Amino acid sequence: MSTDFFKDISPITFAGADSADPMAFHHYNPDEMLGGKRMEEHLRFAVAYWHSFAWEGGDPFGGQTLERPWHPQDTMANAKLKADAAFEMFRILGAPYFCFHDADVRPEGSNYAENTSRLDEMTDYFGTKMEETGTKLLWGTANTFSHRRYMSGGSTNPDPDVFAFMAATVKSCMDATQKLGGENYVLWGGREGYETLLNTDMGQELDHMGRFLNMVVDYKHKIGFKGAILVEPKPQEPSKHQYDYDAATCFGFLQKYGLEKEVKLNLEQGHAILAGHSFEHEIATAAALGVFGSIDMNRNDYQSGWDTDQFPNNVPEVALAYYHILKAGGFDTGGTNFDAKLRRQSLDAVDLIASHVGAMDVCARGLKAAHAMLEDGGLETALAERYAGWETPEARAMLGSDLGSITDRVLAQDINPQPRSGRQEILENYVNRFV
Ligand code: XLS
Ligand code: NI
Ligand code: NI
């Protein structure tokens, strides 16, 4: 099958910063070297199948606005047409990776067995296309939040049959991810949380979720899946209170259930904003705790308070995110997944391409700025100076001592610290030179 959905659009190429061509890259130059690594290998861009191909343009006040050749999405024939268009778009963008949920790629079956056989048929279809085009799978995941069976949660559902259906579904999606050579497996628990404590046993739900995640890790080892298992934090939406609130909450959860060495985090900018954090806060937290994995790159609207999943377009924000990623050593199995969708008035194929082109350019500019700041070393020098006192033997020894000995030293040396400037504005001015 073939689709002419993108028929008038040629593959996007790098035209340089001076070009005015809206359908060219101005900053994303896959082969440009930054610190011994190609830009493409730094950024590891992935297209999100759900937003680009499955979402039909609905919002809480209105239904479908987008009309695609693969609608309605309830037949296997249309699922294959959708895959054809998707791989055509990956080729046009030169996007090395994609990500998908089971429900994005196959129509819902009448039961578990039919869901799984349809998923199998679609991953066979993907496999051939991936071989032909060289596109790779950054991660696979299960949609355990849209169907009404999951309205009260997946692994945290009060009904054990839902837990069972969900666990079996995740197994099938891990199998699919493994089959396609996926580099990570993601779990985002949109319904793993609650609406009201009046009907919720939080302690029991957390224990079930911890047990379930241990089963996922056991299964990963059983099948020899080489990728990383990633949990994606989000504070709320759709659930009022989600258990995976933010990076720090997830780390506490992983530690309680003995998983902090086995599971890492997929951090999303929009979710950080909903949690009242900056994106770089979430990245730096995960890096400091040793659980940084991958990112979902999008932005929220700062006024609306929803997860609006817009394409990134703020270079200074993106630059600070990549600064902390580079500082943490860059991506290992992770990458930059555009978990972002068009506005519902952006109806055309060209909108779908242009949104990604712009986002890839914004990320490339951010990455270049981040790399330049690290090379220059201004922030690291300032940091080293600010913490220099801790380099003295006396200061280091203090960490191994106790409150009594510290008090003796304060008295003996009459320690009476004088405040020093934190230099925030000077550092902000420094960053502005690079972005
Ligand atoms: C929703 C999440 C979702 C995950 C994958 O807010 O970001 O898209 O990335 O299930
Ligand atoms: Ni999200
Ligand atoms: Ni996401």
Give, for all 435 residues of the chain, the pLDDT tens digit: 567 999 999 999 999 999 999 999 999 999 999 999 999 999 999 999 999 999 999 999 999 999 999 999 999 999 999 999 999 999 999 999 999 999 999 999 999 999 999 999 999 999 999 999 999 999 999 999 999 999 999 999 999 999 999 999 999 999 999 999 999 999 999 999 999 999 999 999 999 999 999 999 999 999 999 999 999 999 999 999 999 999 999 999 999 999 999 999 999 999 999 999 999 999 999 999 999 999 999 999 989 888 999 999 999 999 999 999 999 999 999 999 999 999 999 999 999 999 999 999 999 999 999 999 999 999 999 999 999 999 999 999 999 999 999 999 999 999 999 999 999 999 999 999 999
The H or E element containing residue 229 is strand 228-231
**CA 311, chain centre distance (Å):** 13
pLDDT of residue 304: 86
Residue ranges of E strands in 24-119: 33-34, 37-38, 45-48, 97-101
pLDDT at position 1, please?
52
Task: Select which of 27, 42, 101, 277 is catalytic.
Answer: 101
What's the gap in Å between 16 CA and the centre of ligand 3?
30
Compute, in angstroms, the gap from residue 307 CA to the centroid of ligand 2.
6
List the residue whose alpha carbon is closest to atom 4 of ligand 1. Answer: 188
| 50 CA: nearest ligand 1 atom | 8
Q: Which of 165, 161, 145, 155 is nearest to 214 (CA)?
A: 155
pLDDT of residue 2: 64
Q: Is 101 a catalytic residue?
A: yes
Ligand 1 pocket check: which of 234, 250, 267, 269 to mutate, most ligand atoms within 8 Å of Cβ?
Answer: 234
Q: Please tell me the CATH code under which domain 33-376 is placed.
A: 3.20.20.150
| Candidates 26, 42, 51, 104; catalytic one | 104
- Looking at all shown ligands, the one closest to residue 273's CA atom is 2
Max Cα-Cα span within the chain: 83
Judge contact between 300 and 273, C-beta under 8 A. yes
- Which of 105, 232, 310 for mutating ligand 1's site (highest number of atoms within 8 Å of CB)? 232
Residue 300 in contact with ligand 1 by CB distance below 6 A: no
Ligand number, closest to the Cα atom of 139: 1
Which ligand is closest in space to the CA of residue 99? 1
Query: How big is the CA angle at 145 (ends 152 and 333), to the nearest 5 degrees?
Result: 130
Pick the residue whose CA is nearest to atom 8 on ligand 1.
Answer: 339
CA distance 292 to 280: 12
Asked if residue 228 lies in contact with residue 181, where contact means CB atoms within 8 angstroms, the answer is no
Judge whether 27 counts as a catalytic residue. no
144 C-alpha vs ligand 2 centroid, how far in Å?
14
Handedness of CA 245, 247, 250, 256 (dihedral sign): negative
How far apart, in Å, do the first and last CA atoms of the chain sit? Answer: 45
- The response to whether residue 246 sits with its C-beta less than 6 Å from ligand 1 reads no
Q: Answer whether 188 contacts ligand 1 (Cβ < 6 A).
A: yes
- Residue ranges of alpha helices (H) inside 109-201 are 112-133, 160-179
In ligand 1, the atom with minimum distance to the C-alpha of 188 is 10
Q: Is the CB of 232 under 6 A from ligand 1?
A: yes
Q: Count CB-CB contacts under 10 A for residue 403.
A: 7
Closest ligand 1 atom, CA of 101?
10
Residue whose C-alpha is closest to residue 213's, from 193, 191, 225, 230: 230
CA distances from 287 to 249, 323, 325 (A): 14, 12, 8
Q: Where are the domains of the chain?
A: 33-376, 391-432
Q: Are 167 and 218 in contact (CB under 8 A)?
A: no
Does the predicted TM-score (pTM) go above 0.85? yes
Residues 6+ apart with CB under 8 A from 32: 38, 39
Q: Is 309 in the pocket of ligand 1 (CB under 6 A)?
A: no
User: How many A from CA of 101 to the centre of ligand 1?
Assistant: 9
